[in-house]
Structure 1
Amino acid sequence: MFSKLITWIVLSLSMLLSYQLQAQEIETVGILHAVPSKCVALNQGRTCYADVKVTVNAPSEGDYCIRESLSKKILQCWAKADTFKYELDFSSDESLSYELISKKSRDVLAVTTIEVNWVHKVKTKKRRWRLF
Structure 2
Amino acid sequence: MYSKQTSNTSNLNSGTFLLSLLLISISTSADEVTTLPKLAIQPTQCVSMRQGQDCFVNVDVSWQVVKKSDYCLYSTQVSTPLKCWSNSHIGNFQADIFVTQNVTFTLKSQNNNVYIISSVLELAWVHTTQRLSHSSWRVF
Q: TM-score range by the shorter chain?
A: 0.7 to 0.9
CA change 1:24–1:37 in 2 (3 A) is farther
Alignment equivalent of 2:113, drawn from 106, 114, 127:
106
**After alignment, is 66-75 or 55-64 more displaced?**
66-75
Do the aligned partners of 2:72 and 2:83 also contact (CA within 8 Å) in 1?
Answer: yes
Shift of 1:91: 1.0
Q: Quote the Cα distance in structure 2 between the aligned partners of 1:18 and 1:42.
A: 47
- Supply the RMSD in Å over aligned alpha carbons: 2.7
1:58 match: 65
Q: Kindly indicate whether residue 117 of structure 2 is the aligned counterpart of residue 115 of structure 1.
A: no
> Post-superposition shift, 1:53?
0.8
Letter in 2 for 1:94: Q
Kept in 1, the 8 Å contact 2:41–2:62? The answer is yes
Q: Distance in 2 between matches of 1:31 and 1:78?
A: 16
The one-letter code matched in structure 2 to 1:125 is L
Please state how far the C-alpha of 1:88 moved relative to its aligned partner. Answer: 2.3
1:49 aligns with 2:56: yes
- Give 3-state SS (helix, strand or coil) of 1:123's partner: coil
Q: Which residue identity is paired with 1:62? A: S
Report the identity percentage.
Answer: 22
How far the C-alpha of 1:84 sits from its partner, in A, is 1.3
Which has the larger Rg?
2
SS at match of 1:79: strand
Structure 1 residues 26 and 40: alpha-carbon distance in aligned structure 2, compared to 1, 3 A threshold: farther
TM-superposition CA deviations, 1:94-128 (whole Å, max 9, x none): 11101101000001101111000000110121333
- Aligned residue in 1 for 2:79: 72
Tell me the matched-pair count: 119
Q: Where does residue 3 of structure 1 map in the other structure?
A: none
Tell whether 2:97 aligns with 1:90: yes
- Describe the superposition over 1:58-115 as per-residue Cα deviations: whole angstroms up to 9, x where unpaired: 2211100001136432110010111111102221121110110100000110111100
Residue 36 of structure 1: aligned partner: 43
| Unmatched segments (≥5 aa) in structure 2 | 1-14
Give yes or no for contact 2:45–2:123 (8 Å, CA) kept in 1: yes
1:27-48 deviation digits (Å, cap 9, x = unpaired):
4555211111111000111111
Partner letter of residue 102 of structure 1?
A: S
